[in-house]
Structure 1
Amino acid sequence: MLEPPGWESRIPRWLRPRAALWLGGRVGRLVLHGAGELVRVQIFDRSMTLAAQSFTSIFPLLIMLAAVLGPHYRSRLTGLLHLPADSERLLQEALSGSHSNAFGLAGSVIVILSATGLSRALVRSYLVVWTVEQKPAGAAATGRQIGTVLVLVVFLLFARVLGWLASLLPAPHVSGLLVSFVADCSLAILLPWLLLGGRAPRGPLLAGGVVFGLLMIAVRGGEAIYLPRALKSSTDKYGTIGLTFTYIGWLYVLSFCLLLAAIIGGIVSREFFTRVPADEP
């Protein structure tokens, strides 16, 4: 009887039960380890905290920029947020009378400093996920927190620019997927590096970035279909306040993916890329 093609055909018959047992045990151990990490990190609670902090940190910055940069940026903001027509009109009317003097220097500083609440929540999450003992402190840590929020805002603003650049490349759909993947990986690596500096473990950092990029391939596909419809439905049922519920729900999904990627990155790095020291004689 001919052996079926594949890697298992190269394993001696007497070793196949042992190989299957070893593989099943390894996979089972990884699954149990991953489930334990999800419980230890309290991923559901932390994801909701990050979602709420993202909403109250990033949106005020976007509105401040809309007031400062003028009407051209306001149209880009409404397009970035995928707002329905009624909500877009309300936002335009609310911002039409605003200008840079509406915030002022002191108001802008307060908005930026308030936005660091998201950075602090991310720091607490990464410290728990990767069991980093020493928390960053001092003026340098505050500067890193402010820089992290600004990086997130810049990433949101230039997401469409990346899509436009991808459309100029051969095979636009494949190029767009690759560009988004690289951008998402870079963001997931850059955020903890900015927040933790040298305290961020290199292996989990890189592995988590790749995992986040892979997760976002599926999430972005769902975003294009789900988010506009959900925003329209919530606006029709609950008015403009329904947008808040939808955005926080979507930010929860993104926060969950970010933490999940960090957890998986830590497990993968520890299980497959950490060298076990040889026993001393």
Structure 2
Amino acid sequence: MMPEPTEWDARIPRWLRPRAALWLGTRVGKLTLTGLGELVRVQIFDRAMTLAAQSFTSIFPLLIMLAALIGPHYRERLAGVLHLPDSSERLLQDAIGGSHSNAFGVAGCLIVLLSATGLSRALVRSYLVVWPVEQKPAGAAATGRQIGTVVVLVVFLLFARVLTWLASLLPAPNVSGVLVAFVADCALAILLPWLLLGRRAPKGPLLAGGVVFGLMMIAVRGAGAIYLPRALQSSADKYGTIGLAFTYIGWLYVLSFCLLLAAIVGGLISREFLTAAPADEP
């Protein structure tokens, strides 16, 4: 006789329960079930939306501040980094065309930098939930790490085209471009939690999560190269500037989701495959 179904088993059709029980008894089934449980525990959808919103309100003001500080010769590069359509690119040039370094000043730059740490704090909260970190970073050193993390993100965005140019000089540019982007994405996913958590960041999940994120971004970058320019142009034509904002937030949500998912999968890989099992006591 079959045992009485549990509350979870009762949702599965009776004819499928034996196969489901057999599959859940395998290692792949257990890992899948554990992974789904981790997604629910971390609340990945809500946290990804929080990271996307914080990224939009933290990184874009920094980019605009840099455009005002570095002068008009480099503002076209900023529009290229953001993949703006022609109409929106002219809007950006008009918005910051009269700006100069005195428009911000030291106090203004500090305010923008400190405001941008909202993204870093949201990342810290997410990593503390995903990984078993004992103590939350605090104090002046933690603030410095938070500022450094946002600066690293901005530098990564600005030098993305340099990486593309370097890849074009290598043999087989298409393959080289994918490999260079993979290494850069892995490095970014490893560097961010290391900067925020320092020695508290668990090494196994950190490295495994970085590799998983790099693999995810191979597909995401390919899809984004096709989707993002068209979506931005369509949003700008239909809704103007506000349409661009919603499109960017949607794309940042995808990237944030991938970053959190990679951290979760990295933790599972480290726990199941990289951590040595303790020896049995006699």
The Cα offsets for residues 69-108 of structure 1, whole Å up to 9 and x where unpaired, read as 0112210001111111111111101111000011111000
Structure 1 runs not aligned, ≥5 long: 1-20
Matched, 1:211 2:212: yes
Matched, 1:180 2:181: yes
In structure 1, C-alpha distance between the alignment counterparts of 2:266 and 2:208, rounded to whole Å: 5
- CA distance 1:202–1:99, change in 2 (3 Å): same
Correspondence list, 1:42-191, <5 A:
42-191=43-192
Partner of 1:30: 31
- Give the superposition deviation at 1:133: 2.6
In structure 1, C-alpha distance between the alignment counterparts of 2:214 and 2:24, rounded to whole Å: 27
**SS in structure 2 of the partner of residue 46 of structure 1:** helix
Show structure 1 runs of 4+ deviating over 4 A. 21-24
The one-letter code matched in structure 2 to 1:147 is G
- Give the superposition deviation at 1:240: 1.1
The one-letter code matched in structure 2 to 1:94 is A
Aligned residues: 261
In structure 2, C-alpha distance between the alignment counterparts of 1:184 and 1:72, rounded to whole Å: 28
- Give the superposition deviation at 1:131: 2.2
**SS in structure 1 of the partner of residue 148 of structure 2:** helix
- Give the superposition deviation at 1:24: 6.6
Structure 2 runs not aligned, ≥5 long: 1-21
Partner of 2:251: 250
- Give the superposition deviation at 1:23: 9.7
- Give the superposition deviation at 1:146: 0.5
In structure 2, C-alpha distance between the alignment counterparts of 1:181 and 1:29, rounded to whole Å: 29
TM-score normalised to structure 2 length: 0.91
In structure 1, C-alpha distance between the alignment counterparts of 2:243 and 2:195, rounded to whole Å: 34
In structure 1, C-alpha distance between the alignment counterparts of 2:264 and 2:160, rounded to whole Å: 26
TM-score normalised to structure 1 length: 0.91
- CA distance 1:248–1:22, change in 2 (3 Å): closer
Superposition RMSD on alpha carbons, in Å?
Answer: 1.1
